[in-house]
Amino acid sequence: MLKKFFLLSFILLLSGCATQSWRNSMVMSPQAKEYLQQAAQSQGATKQQYQLLAVNQMLAERDLHDSQQLLNQINQSPLDKKNISQKKIAQAKFALLQNHPKAALKKLHQIKNPMNLPYEVAATYYATAAEAHLRNNDLAYNTIALISLNSLLDDPKLQQQNQIVIWRNLQNLPLDKLKVLLKRCNTKLLRGWIQLAIIAEQDANNPAMLYKNIESWQQQYQQHSANSVLPNENNLKSLTQTNIPTQIALLLPLHGRFVDMGKAVRDGFMAAYYANIKMLLRPPKIKVYDTSGYDVVALYQQAIQDGAQLIVGPLTKENVTKLANINLNVPVLALNYLVDHNVMVNNLVQFGLSPEQAVRQAADAMWQHGLKNLLIIVPYGAWGDNLQQIFMQKWQQLGGEEVAAINFPADKNIANEIMASLNIDQSKQRAQQLQTIFNEPIKFVPRRRHDLDGIFLVATPAQARQIRPLLRFYYAGDLPIFSIANIYAGYNSAQSDRDLNNIYFDDMPWVLRKTAYINNLKQQVQTAWPNNLRANARLYGLGIDAFSLSLLLPRLTMLPNFALNGVTGQLYLSSKMQIYRQLSWAHFVAGIPRV
């Protein structure tokens, strides 16, 4: 019976799909009632077992009221030894439903040697521990719990899902963190996963070295579960045979409305080309085609006639859509996404700076920080509505709840909107009513609503500098705020951005990080195009990664779940042939983003 509850909770954990919103219900399900009836007819350890089954059923249904009452009843009598661990796990689950991951971990830590527990109990322990660590923003220990859980799974589909999550988590951990974890590993199971993750990160952009080190890893870990994330031997060997195109065509707007954007992408691409040319045995020839005012289909065909083996571009959605509607004989790395993200076109890979990806990652980060009930603040209009909808879809899948939302228009006073959303106006109205009743002045400090624990904000730097002080003024300054790259101009302005202190946001490494490769490229770009770099910093990053992808796209196709190290993020290739960027996180300290 317990196995049934474990499988249900684990499927929900891996898929990110939550059940209905929390409820404090006195309505008990028929299944829970049946267990309680069995408990009433039993004694001793058997009675406790049925009570725990009822608690698990109630927790699966998010019935906080009844599960708490029953847990308290079980407390009244000494537990059978084998049921002690099950009760502590149930208490941990209850704490998670109350949004207290630290309390859940405290209960779980009281269980010694969980691997010695019966199969179903151990599996439930590690699934619960994984969720508690994730909600406590500890991805490393979340992953270790999932690795321990993996050997307890006997359902191949669940095991495969679990291994995908493990692998993605490990690649999201910094290299220095992985190396620290490796030193602390006390089992071959853990060492195997972490060593493979270190290889994947260190050799991500070097196919030949990647193959060599994976082959060496496989010799050491022939029966290891991490082999599941590797392709067959033929695909691995093909890493050493990837051919670089002899000629690449860049299709970009170099005049008109999008001229600065097109030039930024072109110049970023060429800066990366010249930075890497000495390492290429046969550097490809680069030919640029101006799409401004020209038929992009005709340019595509012209580029092929001129000898192009790969097309990079176009940049606008409109032109990407036009190319998607023809038969593509030569591969295209489009620098934008089709309107319908579910469409897949043969020989078309879509890559761009998608705010939708950033918004979903923001939802993940907020959930991992233990937040649940949010105030959402986005700009008025179709763009803001779209991002709000995408965020809420992801947030509700995770199990979070929206409490209030503000769509701020540029031409209206947002102060009133914030005051109303925080119920400050209601607080003032209650004070005025009391003054009227007692017919004398009363001392009054307005109070905001207390069902909020975080804020998701989409705004430009100028808008955020107005909104953040208002949140403080209306007693919401203590709420953590998460945002996306739009909140940062891309260059430091400490004096202006002090009002943004402690706001978290996701952005590309090109903007946030200082590696030797990034610093070298930035110096080149800054020297050649200082004005355009400031205005279009992220588009230079797009151009740089477009160059990397033009050489390494075959590698990404062969190992789609092994990220490339890009300057716009860690780059993965989805099953729909879209590049997914895993972004970096920073928060403002003294007006400066700190990674």
Name the 3-class secondary structure at 404: strand
In the chain, CATH 1.25.40.10 sits at 2-137
In angstroms, how far is the first alpha carbon of the chain from the final one?
46
Which residues share a beta bridge with 507?
584
489-507 mean pLDDT? 94
- As a whole number, mean pLDDT of residues 518-537 equals 90
Q: In terms of pLDDT, which residue wins out, 77 or 427? A: 77
pLDDT of residue 215: 95
Provide the pLDDT confidence category of residue 468 given band limits of 50, 70 and 90: very high
Task: Tell me the average pLDDT of the chain.
Answer: 88
Sign for the pseudo-dihedral over CA of 82, 63, 104, 173: positive
Measured between alpha carbons, how far is 353 from 578 in angstroms, rounded to an integer? 12
Cα 162 to the center of its chain, rounded Å: 17
**Alpha carbon distance 308, 331 (integer Å):** 10
**For range 159-179, the mean pLDDT:** 94
Q: For residues 373 and 7, which has the higher predicted lDDT (pLDDT)?
A: 373
pLDDT in tens, 204-255: 999 999 999 999 999 999 999 999 999 888 888 888 877 899 999 999 999 9
Tell me if residue 265 falls in helix, strand or coil: helix
Q: Taking the model in full, what pTM does it have?
A: 0.87
- Pairing of the two strands 570-573 and 564-565: antiparallel
CATH architecture of structural domain 247-352+516-559: 3-Layer(aba) Sandwich (3.40)
What is the per-residue pLDDT for 434?
Answer: 38
Q: What is the CATH number of domain 356-507?
A: 3.40.50.2300
d(CA 432, CA 446): 11
| Helical pair 81-97 and 64-75, crossing angle rounded to 10 deg | 150
Does the pLDDT of residue 259 top 50, yes or no? yes
In the chain, ranges of CATH 3.40.50.2300 domains: 247-352+516-559, 356-507
- As a CATH number, domain 2-137 is 1.25.40.10
Percent of the chain with pLDDT over 70: 90
